[in-house]
């Protein structure tokens, strides 16, 4: 559909089309625009559906259609009036016809104004819808960008947290290794001290044993000498 077309052209019918033709054309176009075969963007499809609804609303009512037809006729070529001035003959019938004709003209003018105003409001509505759609698209784009920014920020936060946890894990492992090494060195030192203490005690025991053995030998030697001395004295006494 095109905004430059009139409602008959938009619906693909003649100006003399019947209500059945208009109804059939409306249903056919609406089914096409609501299917996935129209090849339009969602925004353009919505816009065309709104135009189709307004065209059907105008042409599906006899009064609105008559006003729209009059508006189309008035927007075409300039109408030339041929006025013949005659002597006025006022009769009740002529006055009544003039009044009725004036009322009909006023009614037609009101209908034309109403139709034009409705058409203007429809265009304003479509423009507002397009503006709202554009604002909605901009809002959705901004929301998508914000969501992407938040997603990247969350990924960066998670990556930073993982790096921090990895550093802490490595630091704990290094600390545990240092503590284990310190424990091994301390155990080796204690073991060495114990071994040296045992060796020292063993050497002390050996020295004590040697000293005791030496004392025992000296005691035995002294006892042997004492006994020999006593035996010698007994022998001397026996010789006397």
Q: Give the per-residue pLDDT at 87.
A: 40
Entry pTM: 0.33
The residue assigned the tokens 């499809």 is: 45
Note whether 16 and 105 are same-domain residues.
no
Note whether 217 and 158 are same-domain residues.
yes
The total number of residues written for the chain in this structure? 240
Q: What is the mean predicted confidence (pLDDT) over 63-80?
A: 73
Note whether 226 and 124 are same-domain residues.
yes
Q: How far apart are CA 160 and CA 150, in angstroms?
A: 15
Residue 226 counted as domain residue: yes
- CA 51 from chain centre, in angstroms, equals 35
Q: What is the mean predicted confidence (pLDDT) over 6-34?
A: 90
Q: How far apart are CA 37 and CA 89, in angstroms?
A: 66
Lowest mean pLDDT segment, chosen from 23-32, 133-142, 143-152, 225-234: 133-142
For residue 3, pLDDT over 80 is answered with no
Q: pLDDT confidence of 144, banded at 50, 70, 90?
A: confident
Q: Give the per-residue pLDDT at 91.
A: 63
Note whether 48 and 126 are same-domain residues.
no
Contacts (Cβ under 8 Å, ≥6 apart) of 106: none
Q: pLDDT confidence of 48, banded at 50, 70, 90?
A: confident
- In three-state secondary structure terms, 52 is helix
- The token pair at 97 is 């016809």
Q: How far is CA 237 from CA 141, 223, 226, 234, 240, in A?
A: 141, 21, 16, 5, 5
Note whether 52 and 104 are same-domain residues.
no
Q: What is the mean predicted confidence (pLDDT) over 134-150?
A: 82
| Residue range(s) defining the domain that contains residue 56 | 1-60
């Amino acid at each position: 559909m095109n905004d430059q077309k009139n409602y008959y052209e938009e619906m693909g019918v003649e100006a003399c089309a019947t209500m059945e033709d208009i109804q059939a054309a409306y249903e056919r176009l609406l089914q096409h625009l609501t299917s996935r075969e129209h090849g339009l963007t969602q925004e353009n499809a919505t816009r065309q559906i709104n135009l189709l609804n307004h065209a059907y609303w105008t042409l599906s009512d006899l009064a609105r259609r008559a006003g729209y037809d009059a508006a189309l006729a008035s927007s075409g070529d300039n109408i030339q009036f041929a006025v013949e001035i005659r002597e006025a003959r006022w009769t009740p019938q002529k006055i009544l016809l003039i009044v009725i004709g004036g009322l009909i003209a006023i009614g037609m003018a009101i209908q034309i104004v109403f139709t034009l105003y409705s058409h203007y409001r429809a265009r304003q509505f479509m423009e507002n819808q397009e503006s709202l759609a554009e604002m909605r698209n901009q809002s959705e784009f901004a929301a998508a960008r914000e969501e992407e920014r938040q997603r990247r920020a969350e990924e960066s936060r998670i990556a930073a947290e993982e790096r921090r946890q990895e550093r802490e894990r490595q630091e704990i492992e290094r600390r545990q290794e240092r503590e284990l090494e310190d424990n091994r060195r301390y155990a080796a030192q204690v073991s060495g001290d114990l071994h040296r203490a045992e060796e020292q005690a063993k050497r002390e025991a050996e020295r004590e044993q040697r000293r005791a053995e030496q004392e025992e030998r000296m005691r035995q030697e002294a006892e042997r000498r004492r006994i020999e001395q006593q035996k010698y004295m007994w022998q001397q006494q026996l010789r006397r």
